Chain A
């Protein structure tokens, strides 16, 4: 393990809903080591010097350029950070890998290419490959000599990926797999050398295969005309009696879904990280523009409404920045614990599964945060924001895909609750006892809450109440619908929104508390302001979803009782969020960038 982590034990997945974590329990950007910062610097320099000057050419799909730059990233070691050293990678931990992803993700077209290469195009072999497969493919993938792609989707099988039709049959001599079918929407499809292809053996047993571009019967189709990320390659693939050597089966026959889902779990987290990188860039360009653009004899950055936008962009970015590094710290600690075990792959998969819920949160909330940030960015640029000459215009288009791929946000919202219920039912997460305890508490009537003390104590109390609101709503929903809950998608989404808000609020809050403890309240004033705004608004959103959920679950007197309880949980102070946002805006405008970098 390359980097030392301050978080020693990893909290169990989903546990945040039940227990209050302490600031010292979570990893935050202030905990980056010198090595982490150097790694980030290399990735940042690479983007500034090599990628950004050539965006226009990439958008125009200049032949060979994307491949050239990806290979260059490989030379610097940026492609192989999650590949073990013995297979030519850096063998770095999750935190370093997260930093690389975040810093690379300034220009969407490159970020997508990079993400497909280093994440979903590499990890299937890292986690599921045989020793021979790892030796053969990983060194070349991490150096960038070979580019890779992940091929699950088909025209009729996107969200419903398991209904894919591509088939694999063993050749009569038993030496090769013969693949037939078509893939759709494959990132890096046009230029990859290695394709992880999912197909059903004998039309039934879902399995994964490593397919080289040069195998007979394999052919990528033409580039799609996309809304955004024009620099990235997205093509269909045609497999016509494609001959794949028998040993290129990845993992086991009929266990392709294990490969697919575990890789998507990890890919979702990475996608959330990438959104944080994009958002920081959005803030920087918007703040600079607001300073330069004059209207009514002033810089538009001097107007309250523009400041409010910059502040909110920074606050939401801050919250997700806190989320993704908290998750990275947790996963790194859990991976380190699994490192020594004999069945390493099994253990690693367990870790991915353990935090699949948090990963989905990063994906959904991260992509929606980036859409918000780029949308407000366009607004700050005014008419120029609607013009292709300004990068914010492109960023706006590029952002949109993140809510669609790696499992749509709808699918991920369902998954969040599905995973949570699975953990609750299997007893891994004591959600049901907690809901029952809360019910008793409700019957017992209002208790005297202790007066909060310390930095952000009121916010911590608000967060604890938000968790109660969730338990109240979820408890009722499970009781009423039981195994039919899955059919109540709107209700599930309301619950998922609460889960997400709670995790984000808590991450934002704990990071600010940790910073205040380390550097003092004055030095952390802007961050504290950001956390206060996020928690204040987050609590409103949680309460709103709770009300919707309760109304869908209860009726009559019971509903009235539940609403009275909700009102009790909803008691909270009213911070002046207008003034707090001004504090955050000032911090953004002092440097024309995201003000909490590495803090």
Chain B
């Protein structure tokens, strides 16, 4: 089974964020593998260990993304594709999905895995759009994959502690739920072995994908922390009425 895992590099969780234009200041922060994608990678490696085949790590972004690609290779991916793009943070989910889809179409693969969402933008759409563009079946919130003879039995997470079992043909695109497996370490041997693995670099232009945005970020800002406490007085009835008023017109939540 040949599996492509889409892996994004995102700002490190403890990075101090400063805003620059409509993105964050990147010069002074560390980056890491998007955590939801690390579960997708782990799932791919486990499927490969069971069924054979190849795991290909696919990542888009500027040169620094290589660090994350190398991590995926060190953990056991066989080779990698880097869609080099210095302005990728300006892409909307459709733009990203188009570029990734174009890269995937050049490969023969049975399964495409993505994480559920990215820890930076958090759109949670790339996987879904990718399936649409590739014209492949898709399922999200995958808890487990049992593959056999051209199809898979999938466990999905629903609301309120419910699960769903579905059958899905191969090839397909799946978005993996976070936390479903215990992610392996990159061993020192793995890190050294990764040096010999191939990282193919392509550009978005060479894939013929335009940068035309369907969506534009107007502004990003750090939410201002503000806490207010107000005591309402009166009889229970009066207080309830005042509360409803405030919720309706001040907090605007009902």
Q: Does B201 sit within 8 A of A, measured CB to CB?
A: no
Please choose the segment from B131-139, B144-152, B182-190 that sits at the chain A interface, where 4 or more of its residues have CB less than 8 A away.
B182-190
* Inter-chain contacts of B54 with A (CB < 8 A): none
- Please determine whether B186 and A41 come into contact, CB atoms closer than 8 angstroms: yes
CB pair B189 A593 closer than 8 Å: no
A86, CB-defined interface residue at 8 Å: no
In the assembled complex, which residues on chain B have CB atoms less than 8 Å from the CB atom of A216? Answer: none
With a cutoff of 8 Å between Cβ atoms, the chain A residues found around residue B16 in the complex are 590-591
List the one stretch of B66-74, B98-106, B245-253 in contact with chain A: B66-74
CB of B156, distance to nearest CB on chain A (Å): 28
B188 near A591 with CB under 8 A, answer: no
Contact in complex: A90, B188 (CB < 8 Å) = yes
A526 to B213, CA, bound (A): 38
Q: Does A75 contact B (CB under 8 A)?
A: yes
For the complex, is A46 an interface residue (Cβ under 8 Å from B)? yes
Min C-beta distance of A88 to chain B, whole Å: 10
Interface residues of B in 27-81 (CB under 8 A from A): 27-28, 30, 66-67, 70-71, 74
Cα distance, A80 to B188, chains bound together (Å): 9
Name the residue on A nearest B71 (C-beta).
Answer: A38
Cα distance, A90 to B71, chains bound together (Å): 17
Q: In the complex, are the beta carbons of A42 and B27 less than 8 A apart?
A: no
State in angstroms the CA–CA spacing of A76 and B188 once bound together: 6
Q: In the complex, which residues of chain A have a beta carbon less than 8 angstroms from the beta carbon of B207?
A: none
Q: Is A160 positioned at the interface, with any CB of B under 8 Å from its CB?
A: no
Docked CA distance A260–B182 (Å): 43
State whether B186 touches A38 (Cβ < 8 A).
Answer: yes
B28: chain A residues at CB < 8 Å are 523
A593 near B14: Cβ-Cβ < 8 Å:
yes
Q: Cβ of B186: which chain A residues have Cβ within 8 Å of it?
A: 38, 41-42
A78 at the interface (CB under 8 A from B): yes
Residues of chain B contacted by A100 (CB below 8 angstroms): 188
Residues of chain A from 34 to 56 with CB closer than 8 A to chain B in the complex: 34-35, 37-39, 41-42, 45-46
Residues of B within 8 A of A570 (CB): none
Cβ of B189 and Cβ of A90 under 8 Å apart? yes
Contact A598-B30, Cβ < 8 Å, known A38-B67, A591-B16? yes
CB <8 Å contact, B191 and A35: yes
B153 within 8 A of A: no
Q: Which residues of A contact B74 (CB under 8 A)?
A: 38
Residues of A within 8 A of B192 (CB): 2, 35, 90, 92
Are A42 and B14 in touch, CB under 8 angstroms? no
Tell me, in angstroms, the Cα distance from A223 to B74 when the chains sit together: 40
The CA-CA distance from A523 to B27 in the complex, in Å, is 8
Cβ proximity bits B8-34 to A, threshold 8 Å, 1 near / 0 not? 000000111000000000011010000
Interface residues as binary, A568-599 with B (CB distance below 8 Å gives 1, 0 otherwise): 00000000000000000000001111000110
Q: Is B195 an interface residue (CB 8 A)?
A: yes
Chain B CB within 8 A of A81 CB? yes
Q: Which of B15, B30, B187 lies in contact with A76, CB distance below 8 A?
A: B187
Q: A100-133 vs B: 1/0 string, CB under 8 Å? A: 1000000000000000000000000000000000
Residue of A nearest to B74 (CB): A38
Q: A residues within 8 A CB of B191?
A: 35, 38-39, 42
Could you tell me if B188 and A34 are in contact, using CB atoms closer than 8 angstroms? no
> A35 contacts which of B14, B27, B70 (Cβ < 8 Å)?
B70
**Taking the nearest CB of chain B, how far is it from the CB of A91, in angstroms?**
8
Q: A591's closest neighbor in chain B, by CB?
A: B16
Give B69's nearest chain A residue, CB to CB. Answer: A34
**Please, how many angstroms separate the alpha-carbon atoms of A38 and B30 in the complex?**
13
Q: Are A45 and B185 in contact (CB under 8 A)?
A: yes
A590 nearest in chain B by CB position: B16
Residues of the B chain whose Cβ atoms lie less than 8 Å from the Cβ of A41: 71, 186
A217 CB within 8 Å of chain B: no
Q: How far is the CB of B119 from chain A (nearest CB, A)?
A: 16
Min C-beta distance of A485 to chain B, whole Å: 45
Q: Is A77 located at the chain interface by the 8 A CB criterion? A: yes
Chain A residues positioned under 8 Å from B66 (CB to CB): 34
B109 to chain A: closest CB distance in Å? Answer: 26
Provide the residues of chain A in CB contact with B71, threshold 8 Å: 38, 41
CB under 8 Å from chain A, chain B span 164-211:
185-192, 195
Q: 9 smallest A-B Cβ distances: which pairs?
A: A77-B188, A90-B188, A590-B16, A77-B187, A34-B67, A76-B187, A38-B191, A591-B16, A77-B189
Can you report 25 A-B residue pairs in the complex whose CB atoms are below 8 A from each other? Answer: A2-B192, A34-B67, A34-B70, A35-B70, A38-B70, A38-B71, A38-B74, A38-B186, A39-B191, A41-B186, A42-B185, A42-B187, A42-B188, A45-B185, A75-B187, A76-B187, A77-B187, A77-B189, A80-B188, A81-B188, A90-B188, A100-B188, A523-B28, A597-B30, A598-B30
Residues of B participating in the A interface, judged by any CB pair closer than 8 Å: 14-16, 27-28, 30, 66-67, 70-71, 74, 185-192, 195
Could you list 4 further interchain pairs (A-B, Cβ under 8 angstroms) beyond the known A35-B191, A100-B188?
A38-B191, A41-B71, A77-B187, A96-B188
